[in-house]
Amino acid sequence: MISLQEKSQIIGLHIKGKSNRKIAKELGLSRDTVNKYVAEYDKLQAELLAADPEDGEAVCDATERIVAEPRYDASKRRARKWTPAMDQRLDEILEAEAHKRKVLGWDKQMMTRRQIHAQLRAEGFDIGLTTVQNKVREKLEGNKEAYIAQEYAYGDRFEYDFGEVHLVIAGTMRKLHMAVMAMPASGGRFALLYESQGKDVFEDSQVRFFEHVGGCFREGVYDNMRNVVKRFIGPSEKELNEDLLKLAAYYGFAVNVTNCYAGNEKGTVESAVKVLRQEAYATAWEFGSVAEAQAHLDAVLAELNASTEMAAEMTALTPRRPPYETADVRPGASVNKYSCVAFDRAQYSVPDALVGKKVDVKAYPGEVRIVYRDREVARHERTYEKGGMRLDIHHYVRTFRRKPGALANSAVLKADARLKGVFDMHYSRNPREFVEVVAANPGAGAGALASILVARATCEETPASREAAGRIAARTAEQVGRMAALGREVRRAS
């Protein structure tokens, strides 16, 4: 209970025009206490001014209440058995239960409220079951939080989150991670599938998002994931990840990190994760490849975004920047005797002229690029499989010309079932011809190359082979020239 002097100070500062918050801070009192006496003073002053000056009794009553010493109103107070000691002991029990839940990893062995009551009684506390149940409920549930609806202008902010999806890919159940970005102002969404939630994925997904929408936002909102928060300093301060700060500086947006366990602070993207997972993969969950699953997700996104204002918001973004470089660069990687480079427990082929040379590996979440003397010499789809291999038969043409007999049982031929099938059916007795067809079509992918090989072996030009030849014609001359230049460069370096 405050003193009469403190009450007088509250009223004096109120008369000077200070706010209740400033009064509470200046006097070191709770705001509720200040609110109570300010409201009481204003009410009594209003009564005093409204009273008839000739009514001495009314004036005297109002005056006495204005200058009266503060006192508690105990008229409505009810007797209680709950004591501070009981409250402290209950806090200790609930804290121990929370630790148990964390250690065991589940909540099926937690004490019931009846058991908590029994323990308190056994320790000598005279308290009823209903009171204990109510107190436990109060402490566990707390005061329910009121959510404040937010409105944003176009380009104000985007929200980022990950969602997990389980899909059957080529007959095998796979756990994939869906990076989701949401635009609260317009309701737009963007999502990509990845093998992990690593730093490379975190950066790559945002760069591709900014490329997709053609600009950037003034603020990015994240939860407390490892890619965002490097470490916590005290109860509320956080040290942010340097890689995120660099990305934000490049694109010119502010980083906003939500409070722990406060998903509602980025509720738009939380909802987007659920919607996309349900709309895209509740009925369709079997795909031939991750690329096919991503194409399906893209189609669902296009349909959902058509009913939003995403297109309008894209016109209000900050200017587009050149894509931020997110590659994991490993310089000086050695090319082994099998003309492969090891990266992240997998092998990737390069042109056989580079055996024994040093190359640079640039790894992205979806692909690996290999560079020799500032020139890209190989590009492969990335594999996360331990011991996985990504081999391109074009990289071994020079060797196969000298050793055509090595082709039949080579790992590079067996790496693609289509090429292996064509070889076994048409070229097993003439591997040199197979090699020459491959050499003559350096721009052809495995599927197109198989069509060309079949047409050559059967001496007929099929629609598929004509189409494949048309697609690669423009690239062939360029790649031939590039390979020739690479050969000259390697010879000069030798």
Task: Return the amino acid letter for 437.
Answer: V
Indicate the number of domains in the chain: 5
Residue at 73 is within a domain? no
Q: Do 399 and 385 fall into the same domain? A: no
**For residue 136, is it within any domain?**
no
On whether residue 134 sits in a domain, the answer given is: no
The answer to whether residues 454 and 483 belong to one domain is: yes
Give one DSSP letter per residue of 408-434, joined into a string. TT-HHHHT-HHHHHHIIIIITT-HHHH
Residues 217, 274, single domain; the answer is yes
pLDDT of res. 474? 55
Per-residue pLDDT of the chain (494 residues; tens, 9 = 90+): 677 788 878 888 888 889 999 988 888 888 888 898 888 888 888 877 777 766 666 666 666 677 677 766 545 545 467 899 999 999 999 999 888 877 776 567 788 899 999 999 999 998 999 999 999 988 887 656 666 677 899 999 999 999 999 999 989 999 999 999 999 999 999 999 999 999 999 999 999 999 999 999 999 999 888 899 888 776 567 889 999 999 999 999 999 988 765 555 567 888 899 999 999 999 899 999 999 999 999 999 999 999 999 999 999 999 999 999 888 899 999 999 999 999 999 999 999 999 999 999 999 998 999 999 999 999 999 998 899 999 999 999 999 999 999 999 999 999 999 999 999 999 999 999 999 999 999 888 888 999 999 999 987 545 555 555 555 455 555 665 666 666 666 666 66
Measured between alpha carbons, how far is 255 from 138 in angstroms, rounded to an integer? 35
φ/ψ of 205, rounded to 5, equals: -65, -40
Are 340 and 432 within one domain?
A: no
Indicate if 262 and 409 belong to the same structural domain.
no
Residue reference for tokens 């009469």:
4
Based on the fold, state whether residues 25 and 167 are members of the same structural domain. no
In a domain, 359, yes or no: yes
**Do 94 and 170 fall within a single domain?**
no
Q: Which domain holds residue 460?
A: 394-494
DSSP for residue 404: G
* Bridge partners, 222 (sequence order): 257
Co-location of 376 and 410 in the same domain? no
What is residue 144's predicted lDDT score, i.e. its pLDDT? 64
What is d(CA 241, CA 229) in angstroms, rounded to the nearest whole number? 5
In a domain, 188, yes or no: yes
Q: Virtual CA dihedral for 213, 219, 224, 226, nearest 10 degrees?
A: 60
| Pairwise CA distance, residues 167 & 159, whole Å | 25
b or e along 429-451 (b: 16 or more beta carbons within 10 Å of the residue's beta carbon)? eebeebbbbbeebbbbeeebbbb
Residue 176 lies in a domain: yes
User: Do 310 and 209 meet the contact criterion of CB atoms below 8 Å apart?
Assistant: no
Q: Please indicate, yes or no, whether residues 164 and 219 belong to a single structural domain of this protein.
A: yes
> Nearest Cα to 177, choosing from 189, 164, 188?
164
Q: What pTM value is reported for the model?
A: 0.58
Q: Does residue 148 belong to any structural domain of this protein?
A: no
CATH number at residue 182: 3.30.420.10
In the listed set 314, 347, 364, which residue is the last one of a domain according to the structure?
314
If asked whether residues 95 and 55 sit together in one domain, one would say no
Q: What is the pLDDT of residue 79?
A: 41
Please check whether residue 319 lies inside any domain of the structure.
no
**283 in the same domain as 244:** yes
**Are residues 204 and 284 both part of a single domain?**
yes
Tell me how far CA of residue 444 lies from CA of 81, 410, 480, 485, in angstroms.
85, 20, 12, 19
Q: What is the pLDDT of residue 166?
A: 94
